Structure formats: C-alpha cells, structure tokens
Amino acid sequence: MTLIEQIITKNKKENLIEKGDKIVVGFSGGPDSVFMTEMLLKLKETICFDLVLVHINHLLRGDDSDGDELFCYEYAKKNNFKIFSQRIDVEGISKEKSITLEEAGREARYELYNKIMKETKSNKIALAHNKDDQIETFMFRLTRGAGLGGLEGIVSKRDRYIRPISEIYKKDILKYLEENNISYRIDKTNFENEFTRNSIRLDLIPFIEQRYNPKFKDKLYNLIEEIRELNNVVDKEVEKFSQKEKLDIDEIVLFPKHIRGRIISNYLYKHNIEVTREKVFSIEKLLNRGGSCNFDLSDEYQLKKEYNVLKIERKKNKSQDIMPKMLVIPGKVQFGDYLIEAEISTREKVNNESFYTTLKIGDTVIIRQRKDGDRIVPTGMQKEKKLKEIFINEKVPKEDRDMIPLVTYNEDIVWIAGIRGNEKYKNVTDDKCVKFRVRRTK
C-alpha cells in the first residue's frame, strides 16, 4: 500500500477530512509539514475542501529561521495557498512565564493556529505529527510517570485538531520527499541533545533498537494501539458519569483505582475545574470516609461529600445575619438564608417544610442557631436525643449545621426547621393551629 493509500484509508476510517472543511495547516517548512501538505493536495483531488498555511518564525535560529519563513512563503505562492506568518519572541515568552522553550513554542503555535482559524472561519487544524512522534511522546510521558490516559500516544483526531500522517514513519516521509524531488527545510536543533525529546529520538530509541530489538518501534506502536483501545473502553464507562450532576460513591468504588481516578478527573473537567494528580488523589481518599465534608477545588468551587454522594457546588458566602431573632406569632423573620413564618392554619399534609404546633397567638419564639448541649424529643419518640445525632441521622452536611434555624420557646427547641419537630409541641388535631413554615431565600 502506498503512503497516499494509507492516508486515504485512515481518512475514511476516522473522517479526519470531510467535504466542505476549511483547514488551518501548521506549516513549519520541515519535512513533516511539507509531506502532510503534499498529501492534502492529493486528497483534494477526491474531496472538496480548502486549506490555509500558518507559519511561525520563533526567532531562535537567526538566519535559519528567516530562511524557513522565506521558504514557506515561496511554497505557498507556488501552490496557490494563502499563508499567514508571524514572528514571535518565543525566548521572551519562555523567560516571562518560566517555562521551557519547547513549551513556549508550542503555546505560541497553538494560540496562533486558533486565532487564524477564527479569522478564516476554518473548522479544523491539521498538525504534522508522524508515527515516530507518537513513539517519542510515549517514551517521554513514560519517563515522566504518566498513567494509561497519557500513554496512548498522539490521537489522530481530538476536537478541532487532526493529524493525517500520524501513522507514517519519518523514514518513509523522507524517502517520499527525496524520490519526488520535493524540497523542505531542516531544523538543525532537532539533532542536538539539549532537549529531552531529542535525546529520546537520537539516543534512547536507537540504543534499544541496536541492543535489544531492531523492530522496537513497531512493537511499541502496537502497545500504544492496545492502550488506546483499552482507553476507548474505559472512556465509554467514564463518560456515563461525567454527564451527571452528582456522583454516587457506591457506584464509583466498584471500579478499579485507575478507573476511579479517570471518573473523578473527567467529572472535574466537565465542570471546568483544573485537574491535578494531587487533587484527584485527595478526592479518592474521601470515598471511604464516613459522614460529610467539603473539599476546595478552586477559589470559586468546592466538592461536597454528603455521605454517599459527591457534587460540585459554587462556594457561597455564608450570611452573617444569624444572630438570634425574636418572632411574635403570627409573623415572619429572616434568619440567614432562611425565612421562618408562623401563621394560623388548619392541619394539612405534613412535610419537612412545615410543623404544626400547640403554641398560641401572641406567643414569642426565638430563632437561633445550634449550641452545645442542644437536645430535643423528636416527633414520634419518647426520649431526648442530641441535636448532633439528629443531624447525623438526617445526613445534614457539617458545614450547613450552624446555619439551620432552630425555633425555640422558653429554651425548648420546638422545631429544627425543615428537619424535625419536638414531640412535646406537636399538634395532632384538625382544628386551626400555629403552623411554622420555612423556605430558603438564597
């Protein structure tokens, strides 16, 4: 099978390029980007799509960088392509942001690609990663301790990014360009061992091929494909959870540790939360803890664990208006985020939002927050229970307990608003009586 046949087969299988596409092509002038563009030209013979070239002069190699830029302009003119080129001080970006030159260059490229995509109303960005790049990326990530998610190499299609030549070896690219007398530029820094990836390409992989297995790259790529297939299966399971507003801990803990981590990571990603290994590890530790607790995800969001449920919530500024409040029946009063109302009503269907009492018109109650030693005889019971026990049994999160209004009369707790009434003050008649009602206002 020829190289173009391989690319056509891959394109049909993965729908990388489709009729009507407008594609931004990352074009450095090196062999990979020239080869990819030549293949796209051949694809245009059977698929109707448009493309524009984008080149960045990183200003790192003096005359060589300027020569690359000139080459790209001439190539575009020769093939009737529109080209966008920009000079960017990558070294300055590297120093300003305290990142490597590689990272700064990558950041600058992707930023420009996306900018040109919007300006030209394109819908895809084509990048010239080849098969060797996938293997080098695998080795690089392996040395950095990546998990299965990071060891699947460089996928051919993700969001707007496509990689049409990701299954073509570099040696075959160079052979094709040489046989067809196609010019390209050489970046001499690719042959220097200053960068980690260069060292992997120039030293580590050749050493393994010579010393252990001449077909090492083929074997490694087979492993990458197996990992990718496994990740696809895992991703389908993970995706089921990412669409949920809440995560059921009882479901999550049934999965192996690695998949649990993926579920948590993807859940955070879907809610636009930055994901770090430490953050995921800390959340995993919460899964086997009893009770309720909070975990800060950012300045704006927190993860709430309420017994067997995890959910992401925007942080709230707790109301400071929780000083004890006096209420003369009938009447209403604001307490923190809650409105407490006392009214005369006939007995209706009982629910947590209301409590029918034996209190009378003119009685004065105090609305306050909990304090040490609080007890109550819960409705339906005969013995007192600590307020703390009731909160635990009712699964009230710890951070919410100080904000729950307590309706008290002569120091007795008449009603834990929205949760439980006092048996001593419960009205069971059908006549009109004092009804307390609670609702959240924030």
Residue 30, annotated as binding a ligand? yes
Going from the C-alpha of 68 to that of each of 29, 34, 210, 356, the distances in angstroms are: 6, 12, 34, 83
Which H or E run contains 295? Answer: strand 292-296
Residue 23 lies in a domain: yes
Are residues 329 and 309 part of one domain?
Answer: no
Are residues 254 and 203 part of one domain?
Answer: no
pLDDT of amino acid 380: 85
Per-residue DSSP letter, 304: E
Are residues 177 and 249 part of one domain?
Answer: no
366-374: average pLDDT: 88
Are residues 68 and 191 part of one domain?
Answer: yes
Are residues 192 and 115 part of one domain?
Answer: yes
d(CA 402, CA 97): 44
Higher pLDDT, 303 or 45: 45
β-partners of residue 292 are: 306
Q: Is the pLDDT of residue 80 over 80?
A: yes
Are residues 432 and 395 part of one domain?
Answer: yes
Residue 67, annotated as binding a ligand? no
Report residue 165 as tokens.
Answer: 């030549």
Which pLDDT band, with edges at 50, 70 and 90, does 430 fall under? Answer: low
Output the CA angle 7-76-155, nearest 5 degrees: 30
Are residues 103 and 62 part of one domain?
Answer: yes
Task: Enumerate residues 6+ apart whose C-beta is below 8 A from 436.
Answer: 340, 341, 342, 354, 355, 357, 407, 414, 415, 417
For residue 381, give the 3-state DSSP assignment: coil
Q: Is the pLDDT of residue 233 over 90?
A: no
Query: C-alpha dihedral over 305, 308, 310, 316, to 10 degrees?
Result: -40
Closest CA to 352 of 425, 428, 421: 421
d(CA 439, CA 442): 9
356-370: average pLDDT: 89
d(CA 125, CA 26): 7
Residue 191 lies in a domain: yes
Residue 33, annotated as binding a ligand? yes
Which pLDDT band, with edges at 50, 70 and 90, does 193 fall under? Answer: low
d(CA 61, CA 421): 78
Q: Is the pLDDT of residue 265 over 90?
A: no
d(CA 435, CA 330): 9
Report residue 222 as tokens.
Answer: 């087979």
Q: Which residue has the tokens 């609305």?
A: 367
Report residue 296 as tokens.
Answer: 């800060």
Are residues 407 and 267 part of one domain?
Answer: no
β-partners of residue 84 are: 54
Cβ contact 435:342 at 8 Å: yes
Are residues 394 and 248 part of one domain?
Answer: no
pLDDT of amino acid 210: 93
pLDDT tens digits, 217-226: 999 999 999 9
Per-residue DSSP letter, 425: G
Which H or E run contains 292? Answer: strand 292-296
CATH number assigned to the domain comprising residue 293: 3.30.465.60
CATH number assigned to the domain comprising residue 135: 3.40.50.620
Say how many domains are in the chain: 3
Say which range, 176-185, 298-307, 398-407, 408-417, has the weakest mean pLDDT: 298-307
- pTM equals 0.62
280-308: average pLDDT: 78
pLDDT of amino acid 10: 92
Which pLDDT band, with edges at 50, 70 and 90, does 191 fall under? Answer: low
Residue 230 lies in a domain: no
Are residues 157 and 31 part of one domain?
Answer: yes
Which pLDDT band, with edges at 50, 70 and 90, does 79 fall under? Answer: very high
330-345: average pLDDT: 88
Q: Is the pLDDT of residue 273 over 60?
A: yes
Which pLDDT band, with edges at 50, 70 and 90, does 280 fall under? Answer: confident
Burial (CB count within 10 angstroms: exposed 0-12, middle 13-18, buried 19+), residue 2: exposed
Could you tell me what percent of the chain has a pLDDT over 70? 96
Domain of residue 10, residue span? 3-222
Give helix 257-270 / helix 277-286 axis angle, nearest 10°: 110
Amino acid sitting at position 149: G
Which pLDDT band, with edges at 50, 70 and 90, does 194 fall under? Answer: low
- Strands 406-409 and 412-416, bridge-based pairing: antiparallel
Residue 228 lies in a domain: no
Boundary residue ending a domain (291, 314, 337): 314
Are residues 271 and 202 part of one domain?
Answer: no
Are residues 255 and 403 part of one domain?
Answer: no
Residue 265, annotated as binding a ligand? no
Give helix 170-179 / helix 31-43 axis angle, nearest 10°: 70
Closest CA to 358 of 432, 439, 437: 432
| Residue 352 backbone class (left: φ over 0; alpha: ψ -120 to 50; beta: rest) | alpha
Going from the C-alpha of 232 to that of each of 155, 226, 228, the distances in angstroms are: 11, 10, 6
Closest CA to 420 of 334, 340, 351, 318: 351
> 163-187 burial string, b = 16+ CB within 10 Å, else e?
bbbbbbbbeebeebbeeeeeebbeb
Cβ contact 133:154 at 8 Å: yes
Residue 227 lies in a domain: no
